[in-house]
Amino acid sequence: MRFTLLRMAKQMLSLEAAVRETRFPPTYRPRLLVTCSDVPASYIDTLRSKCDVTVCDGVNRDEILKGVPGAEGILWLTADRLDGEVLERAGPQLRVVSTMTSGMDYVDAGVFGERGIALGHTPQVVNNPVADIAVGLMLAAARRFHEGRVAILEERWEQRPQWMLGQDVVGATVGIVGFGGIGQTIAKRLRGFDVGRLIYTGHGEKVAAKEFGASFVGFDELLRESDFVFVVCPLTSETKNLFNAEAFKKMKPTSVLVNVARGGIVDQPALVEALRNGTIFAAGLDVMTPEPLPPNDPLMTLPNCIVVPHLGTATRQSLEDMFCITARNVLSVLSGGSLVALFKK
């Protein structure tokens, strides 16, 4: 992990520097499509210093499909499906697409290989902000922030010793499902909380786990032993609805679930029942299904569920870092180089 972050740090030039250092033939101005206009205008102006750039509003897929023909590179800044239809509409000159996300569950990666189109994304740079919000959700759920605020609003503030008791983090067993970059960054954050034991599960043991004193266990053991469970694995056919009714029954009634990965990893109706029935103590969610979540969704009625609208990477620095890597992926390929961050299926 340390090597990866060091390598990414070296790659994290400012956008201005990245564009300035890109070398195209004298008369060549590649055609780029940016699929969302909700980025600082200075970012687009910087790209336009060397490229012809079309910007879509990012809301209407039809507009993206209308704007993509002729593009040689695409900066995909939306969560809309990225598939063969987009590539077909773009045309044979399309050489590279980079998403501004780490997770790629909305991308049909297979069609890129079939067409010889480079596919990049933005891993690692999201580790810190996502880990921060994960730990924040852990504390908010464990200490009943939402429930306490509602009690104030409804004039139900009680002054007695056993009112609004939550769960302690000190000495707790913390389980992390998916011990990649984000999982390891969460482990780093938790060092300061004096947790008792750190366990993780996934496809296999990680060398980096030794640095954190983390132990590899099976999924069922993690559910049984953990006081706090962090979900940070990718959404795949294997992990879809991984947290279902049977999984919740294996968890402690005092346990807290935190999901900052993808909503589809959790069977939402089963989670609602587990929270209502006291099968688990609380949940903190930055992701859910669908997104946006309807305001009348059952999750929004639960006092022991903290829900925030997918804010994991929503910091100013993260936006700058992610856009820069996205742009560098595209510019590098179009100038004859390789992807800065290649997506590996």
Question: pLDDT tens string for the chain (345 positions)?
Answer: 443 444 444 444 688 998 999 999 999 999 999 999 999 999 999 999 999 999 998 678 999 999 999 999 999 999 899 999 999 999 999 999 999 988 888 899 899 999 999 999 988 889 999 999 999 999 999 999 999 999 999 999 999 999 999 999 999 999 999 999 999 999 999 999 999 999 999 999 999 999 999 999 999 999 999 999 999 999 999 999 999 999 999 999 999 999 999 999 999 999 999 999 999 999 999 999 999 999 999 999 999 999 999 999 999 999 999 999 999 999 999 999 999 876 766
Q: What is the pLDDT of residue 139?
A: 99
Is 310 annotated as catalytic?
Answer: yes
CATH number for the segment(s) 127-307: 3.40.50.720
Task: Please report the pLDDT score of residue 100 as a whole number.
Answer: 92
The span from the CA of 100 to the CA of 83, in Å, is: 16
Q: CA dist 249 to 173, 280, 282, 320, Å?
A: 18, 8, 14, 42
AA letter at 57: D
- Structural tokens at position 246: 């049977």
Which residues are bridge partners to 174 per DSSP?
198, 228
Question: Rounded to whole angstroms, what are the CA distances from 88 to 7, 70, 155?
Answer: 34, 11, 59
In our burial notation (b when 16+ CB lie closer than 10 A, e otherwise), range 188-212 reads: ebbeebebeebbbbbeeebebbeeb
Q: What are phi and psi of 229, to 5 degrees?
A: -120, 120
Q: Which CATH architecture has domain 10-125+316-334?
A: 3-Layer(aba) Sandwich (3.40)
Q: Which residues pair with 276 in a beta bridge?
A: none
Catalytic residue among 121, 146, 203, 310: 310
- Phi and psi, residue 202, nearest 5°: 165, -155
- Model pLDDT, residue 13: 61
**Separation CA 311–CA 313 (nearest Å):** 6
* DSSP classification of residue 306: E
- H or E, element range at 177: strand 173-177
Residue 107, pLDDT score: 92
Q: What is the pLDDT of residue 345?
A: 63
Question: What is the rounded distance in angstroms from the CA atom of residue 156 to the CA atom of residue 73?
Answer: 56
User: In this structure, how many other beta carbons lie within 10 angstroms of the beta carbon of residue 136?
Assistant: 19
Rounded distance, CA 165 to CA 335, Å? 59
Q: In this structure, are strands 31-34 and 52-55 parallel, antiparallel, or unpaired?
A: parallel
Tell me the two tokens of residue 256: 């807290």
pTM given for the model: 0.89
Answer yes or no: are the C-beta atoms of 341 and 119 closer than 8 Å. Answer: no
Residue 107, helix vs strand vs coil: strand
Cα(344)–Cα(123) distance, integer angstroms: 11
107 — alpha (psi -120 to 50), left (phi > 0) or beta?
beta
| Dihedral of alpha carbons 187, 310, 168, 193, sign | positive
Residue 187 · residue 212 · CB < 8 Å: yes
Considering only CA atoms, which of 98, 208, 193, 81 is closest in space to residue 143? 193
User: Which pair of tokens denotes residue 146?
Assistant: 């939402």
Where are the chain's structural domains?
Answer: 10-125+316-334, 127-307
| Distance separating the N- and C-terminal Cα atoms of the chain | 19
